[in-house]
Amino acid sequence: MRRRSIRSEIRRRLPRILINVTVAFLFWIISQVGPLFVKGIIIPGINLPPPFNTVSSIIGLTATLVMILFLIRAVSDILFFTDVSTEIFLKTLGIKEKRPLKRAARDITYIILTLLLVTAASPILSSIPQVGGYLNAILSFSALGIFLILIYDIGRVIHEVLSEKTRRMADWISNHVEERRNRRERNERDSN
């Protein structure tokens, strides 16, 4: 990316990240404090199992879901910064900007980011009464899916790089053998 486009992206994305994280934090506070004000109030006319027939559980669950939506929006903008930091990190290591290496490094960065997000979100989701375990399991399986997809992509990138290097090496060897054969034939013709 050019510096100008990076600057404009930072100016556009950084406020969105801050706003989304702030709103997610506010909804987390609402999910923790809101149910305390309406504790024990049963919703009449709704035939749901006991944990879901109270206003407090509905408020807590709704606020948590809205919080998750805002966190997802923030993460989508944060991924831009991980891309930029991966480029900077690769340049610092002295790795030239080869597409496959950059992609593998980004995949590793995304794996680390996914693990950090799951580790951070797991206690929050587990604290939700009655459904926390289910949400935690969904989060874990989603993270596992993302992890497997990224590992597959890293494997595919490594396979492409190795097959390209192997093809180049085979071409070099075949050219070398062909040159030696041509030299021998020339030497035999010259000597005859």
92, 103: one domain? no
In the chain, the number of structural domains is 2
CA distance 145 to 16: 27
Start-to-end C-alpha separation, the chain: 62
83, 130: one domain? no
Can you give the residue range of the structural domain that contains 125? Answer: 98-192
CA distances for 85 relative to 11, 94, 171, 177, angstroms: 16, 14, 36, 45
Query: What's the sign of the alpha-carbon dihedral 75, 80, 83, 87?
Result: negative
20, 106: one domain? no
Domain boundary among 96, 128, 143: 96
| Amino acid 2: pLDDT | 59
Query: Which residues pair with residue 154 across a beta bridge?
Result: none
| Amino acid 87: pLDDT | 65
CA distance 159 to 153: 10
**Chain centre to alpha carbon of residue 52:** 33
Contact 29, 64 (CB under 8 A): no
The confidence band for 9, taking pLDDT boundaries of 50, 70 and 90, is confident
Q: What are 62-79's pLDDT values in tens digits?
A: 888 899 899 888 888 887
CA distance 17 to 106: 20
The confidence band for 3, taking pLDDT boundaries of 50, 70 and 90, is low
Domain boundary among 96, 112, 147: 96
Model-level pTM? Answer: 0.51
| 66 Cβ contact list (under 8 Å, min separation 6) | 27
Q: What are 14-52's pLDDT values in tens digits?
A: 999 999 999 999 999 998 888 888 787 777 777 767 767
Average pLDDT, the chain: 81
Examine the pLDDT at 95 and tell me if it is beyond 60: no
Query: What's the sign of the alpha-carbon dihedral 89, 92, 97, 100?
Result: negative
The DSSP output letter for 38 is T
Q: What are 105-144's pLDDT values in tens digits?
A: 878 888 888 888 888 888 888 888 788 888 888 888 888 8
| Amino acid 96: pLDDT | 53
Domain boundary among 69, 96, 123: 96
46, 133: one domain? no
